[in-house]
Amino acid sequence: MEPESTVTTCYRHTKVESHVRCTRCERFICPDCMREAAVGHQCPECVKEGARSVRQARTAFGGRITAVPLVTYVLIGLNVLAYIGELVRPAIVDRFEMLGAGLVGPDGGHYVWQDTYPADFHTEGVVDGEWYRLLTGAFLHLPPTGGTFGILHIVMNMVSLWNIGRVVEAQLGRVRYLALYLLSALGGSVLVLLLAPHQPTLGASGAIFGLGAAYYVMARRLGADMAQVNRFMGGLLLWLVISAALTSWQGHLGGLLSGAAVTLAYAYAPRNGRRALVQAGACAVLLVLLLVGTWTKVAELTGAQ
């Protein structure tokens, strides 16, 4: 009678002799299946199971910690691509800039809104159902020959987005950061619609003012040295005043207020299992308020015809 074989093999590679056991499940594993652990080695399945049970690191505001500001890169890329599109087809600006209510004449020219207008004119802007302008205008900028700033408009905004966006994204995580950016852009456009519906506006400034407000709120919540933060906010508010004469202060203020509201919800939501729900709910409430404000103003403008 032959003695029973004492050769042990890897549970995954049954033809490979193995004498090492996984420290968790105690199955034999070969060198190809060994994963170094704090004590001994583990098999691939136990390593995966352990990774699922490890709590993901989070920022102080509940976002996932990321080393690469991917959303900031993408937003800058979209703004630059939109600018290139403007250079190739200048008509993009008239078609997608933020405009609450305007008129287009029979010659295709754009005219200032009037409560009553000739039958051969037609409306354009948000009042004409072009609600997408509330966001698309935030990705367009003045062309090189456009007004006081020209190409400096996009250069200044993208430099600001690069400097502030990376910091805010690192603290909030990608999803919260993107929601903040879009709601700030939307808030800026809605305030333009409410206060200056016949003024065409464009630029990422509203969203960037929202990021500036977020930077301030987060710094206070984290107990940072406020001297430098206050200097930054002083410059931001100074630009808000200057913009009253040069650009759309309504868009800047709307973005600032929306960004502050969103970040206050992020920063002071209860730190328990409901935090993400509270934060998402606050964003949803702000979105609903902005849409209701838009609908109300559109109804007012169209009712005046």
Three-state DSSP string of 262-288: HHHHHHHCCCCCCHHHHHHHHHHHHHH
Cβ atoms 99, 160 nearer than 8 A: no
Mean pLDDT to the nearest integer, 212-222: 90
299 pLDDT higher than 70: yes
Active-site residue set: 205, 252
Q: What is the pLDDT of residue 244?
A: 61
Topology annotation, domain 70-303: Rhomboid-like fold (1.20.1540)
Higher pLDDT, 112 or 84: 84
pTM, entire model: 0.80
pLDDT for 5: 54
**Beta pairing, strands 35-36 & 41-42:** antiparallel
Mean pLDDT over residues 197-225, rounded? 90
Mean pLDDT of the chain: 86
Give the domain ranges of the chain: 1-53, 70-303
Average pLDDT of 112-139? Answer: 87
| DSSP string computed for 143-165 | -TTSTTTTTHHHHHHHHHHHHHH
Please tell me the least confidently modeled range out of 18-32, 167-181, 253-267, 285-299.
Answer: 18-32
